[in-house]
Structure 1
Amino acid sequence: MQARISVMTLAAAFTLAGGAADAANAANAAQCGDWSAYRTFVERFVQADGRVIDHSTATQQTTSEGQSYAMFFALVANDRATFERLLAWTRANLAAGQFDAQNVRLPAWQWGRKPDGSFGVLDPNSASDSDLWIAYDLLQAGRLWKEPAYTKLGQALAAQIVKQEVVDLPGLGPMLLPGPQGFRNGGVTRLNPSYLPLPVLRALAREAHDGHDGRDVSGAPWTRLAENAYKLVKTTSPRGYAPDWAAFKDGQFVVDPKNGDTGSYDAIRVYLWAGLASPADPLAKPWLGALDGMRQSVAQTGFPPERVDATTGAEAGEGPQSYWGALAPYFKATGDERALGLARQHLAALDAPPQGAGREPVYYDRVLGLFGTGFIDGRYRFDEAGRLVPSWRSAC
């Protein structure tokens, strides 16, 4: 009888082990199979020459943001050919050919159809969030694909960000301007909380410094910038909701004088970046804690508000499907399984083929969807130092 029980127990153990192995294999297949949502994005939004087009705009614009995000997705997909096309177009059109390690020009943020019908730069000012992401993409591509030229260009771009887009605010220290021009007026400095992803700042602290005191080669304390970014989010989100814009005046963070304290399409990325941060990062948990209003709201209503008043917590509207893409990693990081399940349902609808006229996919919707589904499906993550860990490096 004992022998029979042992055999049965052993058989059950093998069955359980087989089931676990099947589950693991299924997870690996999901992570390593063709990323159809990414392929659809490239087909619909990326020209053969590497230009990302936002078809929803009258100018058929391309932004440095679009180029930077697409480069990131190409890296996650291990698609080096598309990465190089995106980089080449950015170099030629947004940086006027001045985009190598010896001569780096911050890329113009907006390019598209001009009033006379020709195409070119519409606004030469750069956008610092895009610049951060491009520098990050290059540094990670250099490491993952073992290409020193990418690394050197990423370091050179990071140095220019420090020189032109990082300022020292009295009583606070280093802070990222949204761009070199137009965000400082008298004693008021305008800021954008969604421009400061913690993993990106951590990686720059690790890969763009001289190794002595955590300061990068041109003097920017990336670690302190990450700490100040957390202070910005915590201070300007008193009800647990992030605003699209904020400002710094007289030694403290204040409501933005231009856009007020509304949180909507910009701010939705604040939750996304918080959800993507490694749980091992000492700032990850408090950062998420500062943004708990959104989680509570979805728990009560079953959907994210389209707009919030960051000061009072007043909500308005129902956020679009794409909000769920930004919020999925946030729900996963906070352990909210119910909300994560809702996010998966809405993201499946977002990825469904468009039905009827006027239902062409929107650039920003697809970007948020790729960030969200790519993360919760295990295609990528960030480690404690902010380094990208794509599934193709291990599971595949």
Structure 2
Amino acid sequence: MLLETIFPTRRNIRLSAMLRDFSVQSLFMGVLIAFVGFASSFAVVLHGLTGVGANEAQAASGLMALSISMGVCAILVSTVTRLPVSIAWSTPGAALLASSGVVEGGFNAAVGAFLVCGLLIIIAGLWKPLGRIVSAIPPALANAMLAGVLLSLCFAPVKAIAFNPLFGLPIVLAWAVVGSVSRLYAVPAALIAFVLVVALGIDMPEGALAGLSAALVPQAEFVSPSFSASALISIALPLFIVTMASQNIPGIAVLKVNDYHPDPGPLFATTGLFTLLSAPFGGHAVNLAAITAAMCAGSDSHPDRARRYWSSINAGIAYVVFGLLAGAVTTFVSLAPSVLIEAVAGLALIGAFSSSAVAAFTNAETREAAAITFLVTASGVGFAGVSGAFWGLVAGGLMLALARFAKGKG
């Protein structure tokens, strides 16, 4: 079995011993992790999936598939390894999809690209040369590409206020006020403000409540994948790079900071496997978490380091529950002007944008190449049917190589 290949030395799973490790503290932390992870970025996922051609039903299915897949993955990995391994969907990857636009072949081609991305993640985990190639991409360029991808979405809160101050301002103010007290709850506060704005300020069309009730029944939409060169270059390759550079590698780093030292390869391969499972139903990428990883692995999860893995298991269970409600979430979001949910998504990505921009431009030697990568990516202009994210990385890489060649000649 593939699982035996990924975890050849896994421990024997003894339910009685695991139950003794369970605690109420880990239960509350797990539910909080799932709420923060889901509420703070599901808007980005929906926007990204619709951005590459998914209709409402397909986007809801993708959200459900991702949430259930990462929940089951978290339960499985944490049970097998007894480590607090937090799993998430690729939020930067979803932002990349939003900027890519519909490729030749529509959403079917995008799903084909998701499958290729999952396969690349598995190979990166099991075949070390590919992992080394990904690690060899200059961090400045990877961060510059990510910053360029995120830029347009981070404009959305301003656009929402311009669209209608009565709708946009409450969302932004909730984020700013709560965020000044606790950054952790800033985006959930913005989401609550969005819900209130939609419920109280927008006239519901006839039959909206009936539609919400019907959407409570989970509906999986199978999408037959197709493959095109433009989708592979515009979506699969940038999605793989962004997911590895901004999610999987930082996720391992967070675990190491908290004195957990898993073998990264099996973890990467496992998330790639769950990406393959979710892709035919519209899910773009499952990966290690970074922010919620710190919540899982930290002392707030449990004073005893050996018992913190239960936080990840509990989070996984909660993710599965949230995934089953994805249809109702998507239906409710569709009742509002799209710019409002884009505003919530943009607010959720401001922290990622600022950190990636700082990392991109810190080193003076790579600053110009990073600027080229950022500008080409942020332009949103594609060439030969390939999105700007790929060309940004190519342009920045060529500029960096040229600068190093000239320096070597000098």
Name the TM tier (shorter chain): under 0.3
Structure having the higher strand fraction is 1
**TM-score of the superposition, structure 1-length normalised?**
0.22
The structure whose RCO (Cα within 8 Å, separation 6+) is larger is: 2
TM-score, length of structure 2 as denominator length: 0.21
- Structure with max Cα Rg: 1
Bigger helix fraction: 2
